[in-house]
Amino acid sequence: MAGTDPALGRAMPADSGSIAVRLFPWYTRNGRHHLPWRHTDDDYALWLAEIMLQQTRVETALDYYRRFLEKFPAWKNLASASLDEVLALWSGLGYYARARNAHMASKLVITDWNGLFPDTLESAMLLPGVGRSTAAAVLASAYGQSQAILDANARRVLFRVHGLQGNPRAPAQEKTLWRLAEQETPNPAHDYNQAIQDLGALVCLSRRPKCTVCPLMGICRGSQGTAGKIFPQVSSGPEKQRRPKRYGIFLLVMDGKGKVFLERRPEQGVWGGLWCLPMIYEEAILPTPEDLAERADLIAQRFGAVLGAGEILSFRQHVFSHFILEFAILPAFLPAELQVSDHLSHGRLWALGEARDLGLPSPIRRILEGL
């Protein structure tokens, strides 16, 4: 058993399975038992929660989860929906590949898995968007299996408790961490999985962990000799590389009826599948006046539209995970007698009221709401 070594007078590293025993009493009292996915054993609802929570804060995902579940309460509802409907409900949540993958996964569950989430790790991971940790979480929650998860919370807790060194998010630690995760995971695993995530979210914080109230204080190598000492911070990642900056110009084409032209973005790449203002410029350098003249010609050809005041509105900033987009908006007017060119099959005019219900990137939604 883990405990205090009288000879050394300090805490010993955790033994296999020693976390769960200490975690459960704490979890009973302090866990986030109000979370909606804690009150269901429905494989669909549990899978959906896992997908939505990937790289996303619980508080952010909550509203999306409720709306999504209300509109698509079961596999078959999601499978029979259009991608547009799905992306509309995902709009603003980010990482839109999750929505596309989830849509596809729901179809596969209907066609290949008899309408039930697959019941083995290997088969579950065949679903797009379902990796090992997500698969394990669903199997443990929906089917009561003993499956270890390794999300950011579990990773951080295990890293500290076992006194590992370096960066807990480094891929090189994968094997070690999975082995530890499996060692610590009891059967059934559901409550333990939830508990370790709650500990990571409420106590074993990335910054300023609350070691003094941690139920693992006695076995955590990271908290040895706590009592006022500064807790070893988990290093946040490899050498920080500056986010490159890109410059973009969105074209705001509106007709006399107040309709706005939007085009669907290709499924690969940023904002895949979402409806967006046409991006007529996207480079690593600021557009020159020559650039802009060229773009104006392009606009005339593509849309038959005329530049409004010809003025570019001031640049705004949108931060992505791996670059910063500084973008401006170029208003243009589409005279009533002109039509958008037929070859623009990937785009069309939308009334503002309609556009509101589309899957839009966040900054585009803000622009349209400001009209």
Partner DNA sequence: TAATCGTGGTC
Partner DNA sequence: TGACCAAGATT
Residues recorded for the chain: 371
Please give the DSSP secondary-structure letter assigned to residue 31.
S
| Residue in the structure block whose two tokens are 């593509």 | 302
Please report how the helices 132-143 and 190-202 are oriented relative to each other, as an axis angle in degrees rounded to 10.
Answer: 120
C-beta closer to DNA: residue 53 or 260: 53
C-beta closer to DNA: residue 92 or 310: 92
Active-site residue among 50, 182, 337, 354?
A: 50
Report yes or no: 262 and 276 within 8 Å, Cβ to Cβ: yes
CA distances from 105 to 101, 161, 329 (A): 6, 36, 37
Binding mask 129-158 for DNA (x = CB under 7 A): xxxxxxx-x-------------xxx--x--
- Residue 179 binds to DNA (criterion: CB under 7 A): no
- Residue 103 binds to DNA (criterion: CB under 7 A): no
> Most distant CA pair in the chain: distance in Å?
90
User: How near is the Cβ of 17 to DNA at its closest, in Å?
Assistant: 22
- Residue 363 binds to DNA (criterion: CB under 7 A): yes
Is residue 267 part of the annotated active site? The answer reads no
C-beta closer to DNA: residue 139 or 253: 139
C-beta closer to DNA: residue 75 or 327: 327
User: How near is the Cβ of 227 to DNA at its closest, in Å?
Assistant: 23
| Burial (0-12, 13-18, 19+ Cβ within 10 Å), 182 | middle
- Residue 198 binds to DNA (criterion: CB under 7 A): yes
User: How near is the Cβ of 315 to DNA at its closest, in Å?
Assistant: 13
> By CB under 7 A, what part of segment 205-264 binds DNA?
206-207, 234, 236-237, 240, 242-243
Selection from 358, 201, 161 nearest residue 274 by Cα = 358
# chain residues binding DNA, by CB under 7 A: 63
What is the rounded distance in angstroms from the CA atom of residue 141 to the CA atom of residue 147?
9
